[in-house]
């Protein structure tokens, strides 16, 4: 199959260079049948390629038929508005000819999925359609999703075996259950990541009690991300990790939707951020690798663009000749596995495009890098006996050029360094939570406390000054029921407390109206402003602010609350199971897949 794709690419390249139009005479007659001149063309190109003339003639005829099909489809689309979609089926259903489907573009994604299922023998609830590197949305029309004439659609099957191979009802039921489970896993993935991303954005969860995700740099320290981009980046990285977990299990059909979702969320982040982290580059490699393993590389029109983007991102992130990486980590041995996969995929892509010289160069670089990165199993065993994990052993040996003693020292130092970093990050998080609790104890809501601490770079005293100097900030941002008492008039007891502190009775009553009966906030604000309320507070004629209202649904719980909480816990736990403990998990590889792929292309 790979040899045929190579010949197809080379012959297409020759035809383009010679400006041969196979759909016109003398290669095609008036009845659209093959012309006699095609044999002479096959002879010319077979001599040039030094391969079988009959095989070349057969491939040229396939190219001619495809060109005529495309021309007929184009004419049909112009006159009737009926578009042609090229459908790429799973490998088990792959045929030599194209799988074409005609449809109008005003139908919904659900209708297209149903048509594909009916035409090619799938159960429609157990397939996903990928067009333009995006999952087909069932509720929108094809036009709304940018689907055009002659577009390529890839079918991802959630079941593993053919319908017609089922031997009994029990097997059929098991396979349906398997597909349903996979679909539920995808939905739980989305739900779990949404919950974790929300917790990360709130930054007030207790790490001892509530699971959450954090973003760290290459040394393992948390990094600050603008709130506007934090959720998108968190979702992007979460989907990427989930996709990588499926890749490890070789569940490529489920991995691809996760990876494409990760790509979509990464695109919501600013370009500057993407150029400074290697996550986006690794994702591009994983997407192309997934298409390759699904044997659908031809369906990814911009594979070359993605690989070039990955190479550019690696250069921006690691520096020329990896000098920035060496400065940060002291070595670049572990990251070389990424370049091995990059060169390998570039070689495969060039081969399928007919660029044999470039393909050989890339594959040669991949082969040389594989020899450099190959690890003697006995060295891994030596480190295992010292109490290190297999993953630590592989990463350590690559960082230390295969030296066992140096690798043991490297792993030990890294363990100690990470333990110290985690301790410091945990302490930083604890202080942040204590500061929020302190401000809440003074009467401020969680949301307002967060905003003030963010503005004060985490300094509690500065945050308090900000709040006291800007009571309007408290009012505009506090719609939290925990501080919103909605009382019509303050109690005499609360007024008496403020009067006892030395404030005027009328001012005390007005302050309590403003702060909804909160004595602490009223007292702090009056004391900070010399016994009066600041002029910028927009008081109503009655001397109080008009309170925002909450809908009845905000205050009432439902009997299903505990069930929803259980479902959330299940979704979150499923995500956390696939989040690797080791921060360099994405750099760890046994290189088994790469070894097989290189061997197949020698």
Q: How far apart are CA 587 and CA 337, in angstroms?
A: 7
Nearest residue to 138 (alpha-carbon basis) of 159, 117, 162: 117
**Tell me: the pLDDT tens digits for 95-123?**
655 688 999 999 999 999 999 999 988 88
Window from 127-131, 143-147, 164-168, 339-343 with minimum mean pLDDT: 164-168
Copy the structure tokens of residue 207: 């790490």
Q: How far is CA 532 from the centre of its chain?
A: 53
Residue 220 CA to residue 233 CA, distance in Å, equals 17
Burial 432-466 (b: 16+ CB within 10 A, else e): bbebbeebbebbbbbbbbbbbbeebeeebeebbeb
Question: Could you give the CA distance from residue 483 to residue 467 in angstroms, rounded to a whole number?
Answer: 15
| Mean pLDDT of the 565-569 span | 59
User: Among 193, 203, 176, 133, which Cα is nearest to 429's?
Assistant: 203
Q: Tell me the sheet residues that pair with 127.
A: 157
557 pLDDT tier (thresholds 50, 70, 90)? very low
Q: Are 321 and 207 members of one domain?
A: yes
Q: Which two tokens stand for residue 447?
A: 């949301």
352 and 207 in one domain?
yes
Which residues are CB-neighbours of 65 under 8 A, at least 6 positions away? none
Least confident of 282-296, 450-464, 542-556: 542-556
Of residues 536 and 305, the one with the higher pLDDT is 305
pLDDT of 370 reads 94
In a domain, 167, yes or no: no
pLDDT by residue (tens digit) across 251-300? 898 899 999 999 998 888 877 777 767 889 999 999 999 999 988 887 87
User: Within 13 Å, how many C-alpha atoms sit on residue 297's CB side?
Assistant: 25
Report residue 551 CA to chain centroid gap: 36
Domain containing 296 equals 183-373
CATH for 96: 3.10.20.90
Q: Are 88 and 226 found together in one domain? A: no
Asked if residue 547 has pLDDT above 80, the reply is no
Do 297 and 367 share a domain, yes or no?
A: yes
Torsion of Cα atoms, 361 then 362 then 366 then 369, to 10° = 60
Domain boundary among 20, 53, 79: 79
Distance of CA 384 to the CA centre of its chain: 33
pLDDT-above-70 percentage for the chain: 76
d(CA 535, CA 418): 51
Average pLDDT over every residue of 446-464: 81
Together in a domain, 198 and 310 = yes
- Residue 594 pLDDT more than 60? yes
How many angstroms separate the CA atoms of 88 and 94, rounded? 8
In this structure, are 268 and 227 located in the same domain?
Answer: yes
Overall domain count for the chain:
4
Say if residue 122 is in the same domain as residue 14: no
Does residue 343 belong to any structural domain of this protein?
yes
- Say if residue 543's pLDDT is above 60: no
Q: Are residues 71 and 85 in the same domain?
A: no
Average pLDDT over the chain, rounded to whole? Answer: 79
pLDDT score of 240 more than 80: yes
Classify the C-alpha dihedral 438-441-446-447 as positive or negative: negative
The pTM (predicted TM-score) of the whole model is 0.70
């Amino acid at each position: 199959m790979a040899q045929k794709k190579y010949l197809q690419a080379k012959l297409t390249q020759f035809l383009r260079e010679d400006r041969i139009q196979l759909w016109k005479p003398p290669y095609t007659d008036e009845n659209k049948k093959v012309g006699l001149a095609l044999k002479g063309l096959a002879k010319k190109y077979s001599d040039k390629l030094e391969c079988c003339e009959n095989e070349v003639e057969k491939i040229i005829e396939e190219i001619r038929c495809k060109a005529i099909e495309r021309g007929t489809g184009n004419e049909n689309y112009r006159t009737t508005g009926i578009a042609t979609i090229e459908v790429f089926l799973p490998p088990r259903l792959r045929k030599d000819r194209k799988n074409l489907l005609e449809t109008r573009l005003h139908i919904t994604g659900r209708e297209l999925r149903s048509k594909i299922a009916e035409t090619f023998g799938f159960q429609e609830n157990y397939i996903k359609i990928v067009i333009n590197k995006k999952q087909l949305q069932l509720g929108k029309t094809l036009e709304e999703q940018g689907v055009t004439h002659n577009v390529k659609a890839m079918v991802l099957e959630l079941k593993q075996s053919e319908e017609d191979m089922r031997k009994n009802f029990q097997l059929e039921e098991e396979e349906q259950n398997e597909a349903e489970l996979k679909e539920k896993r995808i939905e739980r993935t989305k739900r779990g990541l949404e919950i974790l991303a929300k917790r990360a954005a709130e930054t007030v969860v207790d790490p001892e009690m509530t699971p959450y995700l954090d973003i760290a740099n290459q040394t393992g320290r948390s990094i600050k991300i603008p709130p506007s981009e934090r959720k998108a980046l968190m979702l992007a990285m979460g989907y990427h990790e989930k996709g990588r977990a499926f890749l490890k299990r070789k569940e490529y059909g489920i991995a691809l939707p996760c990876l494409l979702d990760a790509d979509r969320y990464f695109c919501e982040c600013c370009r500057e951020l993407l150029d400074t982290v290697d996550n986006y580059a690794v994702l591009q490699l994983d997407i192309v690798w997934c298409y390759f393993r699904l044997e659908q590389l031809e369906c990814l029109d911009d594979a070359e663009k993605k690989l070039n983007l990955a190479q550019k991102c690696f250069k921006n992130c690691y520096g020329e000749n990896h000098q920035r990486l060496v400065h940060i980590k002291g070595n670049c041995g572990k990251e070389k596995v990424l370049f091995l996969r990059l060169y390998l995929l570039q070689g495969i892509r060039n081969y399928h495009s007919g660029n044999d010289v470039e393909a050989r160069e890339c594959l040669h670089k991949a082969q040389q890098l594989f020899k450099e990165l190959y690890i003697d199993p006995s060295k891994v065993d030596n480190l295992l006996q010292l109490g290190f994990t297999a993953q630590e052993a592989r990463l350590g040996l690559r960082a230390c050029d295969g030296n066992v003693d140096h690798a043991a020292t490297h792993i030990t130092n890294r363990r100690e360094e990470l333990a110290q970093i985690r301790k410091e990050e945990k302490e930083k998080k604890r202080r942040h939570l204590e500061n929020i609790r302190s401000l809440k104890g003074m009467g401020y809501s969680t949301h307002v406390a967060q905003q003030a601490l963010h503005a004060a770079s985490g300094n509690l005293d500065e945050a308090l000054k900000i709040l006291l100097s800007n009571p309007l900030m408290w009012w505009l941002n506090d719609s939290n029921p925990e501080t919103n008492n909605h009382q019509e008039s303050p109690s005499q007891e609360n007024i008496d407390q403020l009067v006892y502190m030395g404030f005027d009775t009328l001012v005390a009553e007005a302050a309590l109206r403003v702060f909804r009966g909160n004595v602490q906030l009223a007292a702090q604000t009056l004391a900070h402003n010399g016994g009066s309320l600041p002029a910028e507070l927009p008081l109503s004629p009655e001397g109080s602010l008009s309170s925002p209202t909450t809908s009845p649904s905000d205050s009432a719980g439902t009997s299903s609350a505990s069930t929803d909480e259980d479902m959330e816990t299940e979704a979150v736990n499923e995500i956390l199971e696939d989040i690797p403990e080791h921060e360099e998990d994405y750099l760890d590889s046994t290189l088994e897949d790469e070894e097989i792929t290189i061997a197949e292309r020698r």
